[in-house]
Amino acid sequence: MRLLLNKQVNTPKNFYISGFLPEFKNEVIIDGAYYFSENNALHVSGSLRTEISVCCDRCLKSFTSVLQTTFEEEFMSKDLAKTYYAYDNEGIDLDGIMYEILQSAMPEKFLCSESCKGLCDQCGIDLNKSICQCDTREINPKFEMLRSLLLED
């Protein structure tokens, strides 16, 4: 995804871009604004949105999750830039920085719902669909050795 620039812009200019990043199967939508400051730095801000297919971290069910975040970045021209991301006379390639922003916006855990009960840690049954007959009582770790002796018979 490439943002074409108008070098005369010193007040925010809105833009809307949609496209695909190789790492994401669904369309990524960028709704933002850009402007050039007095030191010729390019300021880009806005919001990103895409949908991703993931598995629930509790029950392993596949589902689609909306990934949405905001961003604010500053870029220098390629001849002045000492960083990886820079703009040239024609525009700026947003793929790399948008990928990094989306990756940092990923939650630690994906849940199909907040009330997901997950899988039974003993038999593996999906507790959202049925109830298992496994013993779910908490056992004091001090007595765990005694329990293993009972199970040997």
Per-residue pLDDT of the chain (153 residues; tens, 9 = 90+): 777 777 767 788 898 988 888 777 888 899 999 888 877 788 889 999 998 889 999 999 999 889 899 999 888 776 665 666 667 777 788 888 888 888 888 889 999 999 999 998 888 888 889 888 887 667 777 777 776 776 665
Sign of CA dihedral 98, 103, 107, 110: positive
Neighbour count for residue 26 (Cβ, 10 Å): 15
Residue ranges of alpha helices (H) inside 49-141 are 95-104
Domain boundaries, the chain: 2-104, 117-153
| pTM for the model | 0.68
User: Is-contact 65 20, C-beta < 8 A?
Assistant: no
Task: Determine the Cα–Cα distance for residues 84 and 117; give it in Å rounded to an integer.
Answer: 44
User: Is-contact 69 48, C-beta < 8 A?
Assistant: yes
Task: Determine the Cα–Cα distance for residues 140 and 110; give it in Å rounded to an integer.
Answer: 31
